[in-house]
Amino acid sequence: MKKFRKLKLITIGILFVLPLLNSCKKGQDDPFLSLKSRDSRIMRKWNLKKIEGTESKITPYSTSTTTYSYDGSVLKLVKTTDGVTTTTGGTGSYDMTFDKYSKLSYNESFTSSESGSGLEVLTGDNIWNWLNSDKDKSSIFIQGGGTNLFKANIYIVDRLTSKELILKLKYDDSETEEGNTIKSSTDLTYTFEKQ
């Protein structure tokens, strides 16, 4: 009888604790078990290690698609407009630091591959905040960033561990200008690692 009672108490304890342990998992790719909240996991310095994805624009007069790739040092942009392909990019780095008072500090250094371009260094402070309820924290607004590798925008927080942050910029847009429909779409993934 004592063993049955002990087993019953352990089962009730597990059923009570499991939802609490999983409550920190907000993104689909977040860790199953984390003792830290999303707030405490994001508040650190992050280095940009990878960019991948595409942007496209379709107008009545032209179609263009740009493919992004970045390996932590080299940015490569391959743009195809109406069958003509050009490649641009450069080298650089980007990091950002989140603090608990919604302050964001960022640093970007970038040298374009175009001839005559010198090193461009941008540093600054701005703000960040979660866009949805305190419970979900699946979207984030980052006000501040560079001009080449990472920019201010609204991002989906796809994965957030204590060592990795994956942000997605994904949207489709359609607008009409002077009777012409212009469609654009963006699907970019930014992978950061803890510094």
Q: Give the mean pLDDT of 32-50.
A: 83
Closest CA to 163 of 79, 27, 45, 51: 45
Q: For tokens 């992050």, name the residue.
A: 46
Residue 58 has pLDDT above 70, yes or no: yes
Q: How far apart are the first and last CA of the chain?
A: 54
Q: What is the mean pLDDT of the chain?
A: 86
Residue 9 has pLDDT above 50, yes or no: no
Pairing of strands 63-70, 103-112: unpaired
Q: What is the pTM of this model?
A: 0.81
Mean pLDDT of 78-102: 96
Residue keyed to tokens 């907000």: 26
Confidence at residue 17, expressed as pLDDT on a 0 to 100 scale: 41
Task: Tell me what pLDDT residue 115 has.
Answer: 74
Contact between 29 and 161 under an 8 Å Cβ cutoff? The reply is no
Nearest of 145, 99, 105, 146 to residue 125 by alpha carbon: 105
Boundaries of every domain in the chain: 2-194
pLDDT for the residue 178: 87
pLDDT band at 5; cut points 50, 70, 90: low
